[in-house]
Structure 1
Amino acid sequence: MPSVLFRPPSKALAWALYDWANSAFATVVIAGFFPVFFTQFWAQDLPDAQSTQWLGYTSSAASLILVLTAPVLGALADQLGAKKRFLLGFTLLGVLATAALYWLGAGHWQAALLLYLAGLLGFFGGNIFNDALITDVAAPAQYERASSLAYALGYLGGGVLFAVNVAMVLSPGTFGFADEGEAVRAAFLGVALWWAVFALPLALVVPESRGLGRRSLRGAAVGAFHELARTFRQIRRLPNTFLFLLAYWFYIDGVDTIMFMAVKYGLDLGFESSSLMVALLITQFVGFPAALVFGRLGARFGPKPAILVAIGVYVLVVLAATQMTRVEHFYALAATIGLVQGGIQALSRALFAGLIPAGQTAELFGFYNMVGKFAAVLGPFLVGTTAAFAGDPRFSLLPILLLFLLGAALLWRVDVAGGRRDAAAVPPPPRGPLFADQA
């Protein structure tokens, strides 16, 4: 189906398949089984509040580490011409950590959290360099379709494996497992294998971009910090790029908050956990064709109008969620979110790729991912605070409206054509051994 809507060169398809590979971790591990299995198996002797606290601390730690290191790692990758090597290194970290969960026995909650932290770092860290590689596999005119294809394959791949894993857990005997716990542990091992196998096309086909001519790792590190400082100054001289990052900070915070709080919101409303798993599957499978359609819309009308439409849909979703009373309503909202979630993520990546200078893609996508992860702090805080004061979970999502509206207002002011001209006018970073032997 993807080849009918968009016929990419082999390297673009190989790059897009990485989303198929690592989305299994996001769907099966992060959104699906780890939080429940951690509470019921590894941390079964801890009070629920304490296990939730430690799980939250681990997720926050992964985000904080990424915020502090993403721009530096991105700059270093640009210096060395090592975006793909960094990507594969983080992939290996995530694969090994996820596979190790299979052998972890009951009660070992500290080890489970350490492996989960390593898995999160592998997943989020890999995304920095996978995002940056879009400029190596597609021409600027193809950014929207290539990015949307990748997100579509991610939704389909994550959804397919998650559906199989849900079936395994609901009927473990059918698949040869002794009980639900064994089926869940096998699901973690399956994610690791899936991630590793489907990362191979990128490893074998996608070319490694050329670096900036550094002769040593030490010199490259010094050069990375020089380039990082220069990039801070440069972003301030690219007003549309800066404005887009600010807009993205607000609206992607709303997107991520809904993504990570939806199951908890459904539980607070009294819906069964099995029904919520069905809702996650609906989002995944609706997200596959919807992301492809958004790619075509972005290519035809531009990514900015399509993102604004998606933000409008999210505003309607939040308003509708406050009136939700039946699980069928939850299913309808899950399908609606699936229509726009992949599209807004894919087109945001494509739009940003067109607003940055050549030769600094990994570094600037480090900033892009840093903004996205730093944003993930505000939304959940607003939701939790509102729920505590309002006493009704239906009101807890209302502050997210402010995030979407602020993001839309700032995005409206972004001059995409002007931003692309400004980025194209920036001279490439100096090549050669400028910092190779310093420090």
Structure 2
Amino acid sequence: MKSDRSSRWSWAFYDWANSSFATTVMAGFFPLFFAEYWAKGLEPGTRTFWLGLASSAVSVIVMFIAPLLGGLADRKGIKKHFLFAATVLGAVSTAAMFWVAQGNWPLALGLFALGSIGFFAGTSFYDSLIVAVAKPEEMDFTSGLGYGLGYLGGGLLFAVNVFMFQSPQTFGLASGAQAVLWSFLMVGVWWMLFSLPLFRWVHEEPMHDQSGSDWQELVRTFRQVLTMKPVLLFLLGYWLYIDAVDTIIRMAVDYGVKLGFEPSALIKALLLVQFIGFPAAVLYGWLANRFGTKLMMYIALAVYGGVTIGSYWLQSERDFYLLAAAIGCVQGGIQSLSRSYYARLIPSEQSGQFFGFYNMLGKFAAVLGPIVVGQTALVVDNQRLPILTLLPFFVIGGLLLSRVKAPAAAAPSQNPPAASA
């Protein structure tokens, strides 16, 4: 396995590249622009149905293909090939939305679905390549660097795109709608351009093909997961606490709207998370090498528990910003350390397929949490109380994590690799 500064930074910059899709497109403009521009002629319920159907279809497709293609990539040694294909699919589909005419919602929705497939499928191959660029003792910092660059890159482009939307004349554009279309084109170019270092400088070890069909290998790996207690316990704990993390991410804006906060305040809070998340994620990787990966994960889960409780007492926009800042300090940390810790638990030669299962659980995330929160909201006459139902997710997830036997490489190091990364 090759491990040097250029390969680690090149790998990490893929987070900078594809996070533009997560911020500007998924979390930012597409849902609103779809309703107000492409599908404005449809009934609100019909718009919601088709948008939800597309999102569900993407999830199902990725859940099936990620482990299957991951196993094939392992046996052939072609993770970079699959990542390149996913990147081209995602970037080109996103950029193509620039040319979709107003009212042509089926084409816009189809391109968004293809872009989402490229994003989520590509993430699985990208995650699995961490074993090709980092030694076990370097994985925490390297993973944190990736998430940190993702927050910074995604946040920078999103900030520019928001400014374009709010002041299109400054950029020589006729309207906010034209600014949004240009934003989609910019995301596609940004995604493709900043992915190039990975394809140039990250070197994947050649593998020899194994016997058996892709489906047989998938079943074999699933059975293998069931017999590997540390991996199984980690995946169960990860599914619970990342479900709660993703629920907070997805429902924060809706929660703020219910409390009467201005949309501009919610956008500012989102940008605050992005820019705090950059140094925090990198710092978290360094601290994990210094004090231990699991300890830092426990701290992140404790902060999320505190944020959940604090959300119940939320009163002002200032309080909302403070909670957003707290999330920014640990969100990248729990995500990056989960990735690096898992990478040390699995066989490196099967990283593609094992990370396929990891990202499959990620797609299941934010399913149970919103259901629990939503059902609680139906039976209680208090819009603040349902958020507290997420606390058990963090507690039980942390307890399961505590039962995972730490690999030797996860122990604290007196010489963290930060300086050489």
Cα distance, 1:295–1:172 mapped onto 2, change above 3 Å:
same
Structure 1: unaligned runs, 5 residues or longer: 1-6, 422-439
Question: What does residue 13 of structure 1 align with?
Answer: 9
Per-residue Cα deviation, 1:82-108 (whole angstroms, up to 9, x for no partner): 101101100111011101111112222
Match of 2:414 in 1: none
- 1:163 deviates by 0.8
Partner of 2:415 in structure 1? none
Give the conservation status (yes or no) of the 8 Å contact 2:4–2:133. no
Percent sequence identity over aligned pairs: 50
Question: 2:311 matched to which residue of 1?
Answer: 321
Partner AA of 2:339 in structure 1? R
Distance 1:23 1:32 in 2: 12
Does residue 1:59 correspond to 2:55, yes or no?
A: yes
SS at structure 1 position matched to 2:206: coil
CA distance in 2, matches of 1:184, 1:19: 22
Quote the offset at 1:252 in angstroms: 0.5
User: Which residue of 139, 142, 165 maps to 1:169?
Assistant: 165
TM-score, with length taken from structure 1: 0.90
Amino acid at match of 2:264: S
- Tell me, yes or no, if structure 1 residue 100 matches structure 2 residue 90: no
Distance, in Å, in 2 between the alignment partners of 1:413 and 1:132 is 24
One-letter amino acid matched to 2:216: H
User: Does 1:287 pair with 2:277?
Assistant: yes
Q: Which residue of 2 aligns with 1:258?
A: 248
Match of 1:428 in 2: none
State whether structure 2 residue 197 is matched by structure 1 residue 207. Answer: no
In 1, Cα distance between equivalents of 2:158 and 2:125: 25
2:348 aligned counterpart, secondary structure: coil
Mapping of 1:416-427 within 5 angstroms? 416-417=406-407
- Which residue in 2 is equivalent to 1:271? 261
CA contact (8 A) 2:137 2:289 kept: yes
- Once the two structures are superposed, what CA deviation does each residue of 1:131-178 show, in whole Å capped at 9, x if it has no partner? 000000111110000000000000000011011111111111001110
Is the CA contact (8 Å cut-off) linking 1:240 and 1:418 kept in structure 2? no
2:64 paired with 1:68: yes
Amino acid at match of 1:300: R
Cα displacement string for residues 410-429 of structure 1 (whole angstroms, at most 9, x for unaligned residues): 111111138989xxxxxxxx
Paired residues of 2:11 and 2:198 also in contact (CA < 8 A): yes
Q: Which residue of 1 aligns with 2:220?
A: 230
Residue 179 of structure 1 is matched in structure 2 by 175
8 Å contact from structure 1 (residues 238, 419) kept in 2: no
In 2, are the aligned partners of 1:241 and 1:419 still within 8 Å (CA)?
Answer: no
User: Structure 2: how far apart are the matches of 1:269 and 1:396?
Assistant: 14
Output aligned runs, 1:74-223, within 5 Å. Answer: 74-213=70-209, 222-223=212-213
Partner in structure 2 of residue 4 of structure 1: none
Q: Deviations over 1:357-383 (max 9, x none)?
A: 131000000010011111231112222
Distance 1:142 1:107, change over 3 A: same
| CA distance in structure 2 between the partners assigned to 1:81 and 1:420 by the alignment | 27
Cα distance in 2 for partners of 1:226, 1:96 equals: 33
Alignment check: 8 A CA contact 1:24 1:161 kept: yes
Residue identity in the other structure for 1:103: W
- The one-letter amino acid of 1:64's match is V
How far 1:61 sits from its partner (Å)? 1.8
Q: CA RMSD in A?
A: 1.8
State how far apart, in whole Å, the 2-side matches of 1:104 and 1:399 are: 42
Deviation, structure 1 residue 211? 2.1
For 1:92, the aligned partner's letter is V
**Letter in structure 1 aligned against 2:321:** Y
C-alpha distance in structure 2 between counterparts of 1:209 and 1:411, whole Å:
31
CA contact (8 A) 1:147 1:347 kept: yes
Aligned to 2:394: 404
Partner of 1:240: 230
Q: Is the 8 A contact 2:244 2:394 kept in 1?
A: yes
Closer, same or farther: CA 313–371 of 1 in aligned 2, 3 Å = same
Question: TM-score, normalized by length of structure 2?
Answer: 0.93
**1:8 CA drift (Å):** 5.5
Native 8 Å contact 1:93 1:122 kept in 2: yes
1:361 counterpart = 2:357: no
State the 4+ residue runs in structure 1 displaced beyond 3 angstroms: 418-421
User: Counterpart amino acid of 1:237?
Assistant: T
Aligned residues of 1:79 and 1:223 also touching (Cα < 8 A): no
Partner of 2:42: helix, strand, or coil?
A: coil
- Opposite residue 138 of structure 2, the aligned amino acid is Q
How many residues align? The count is 409
For residues 383 and 37 of structure 1, the distance between their equivalents in structure 2, rounded to whole angstroms, comes to: 27
Q: What letter matches 1:254 in structure 2?
A: A
Deviations 1:362-412 (A, max 9, x none): 000001001111123111222222223334432232221121111111111
Runs of 5+ in structure 2 lacking a partner?
412-421
Amino acid in structure 1 at the alignment position of 2:85: G
8 A Cα contact 1:23 1:158, kept in partner? yes
Tell me the SS of whatever aligns to 2:261: coil
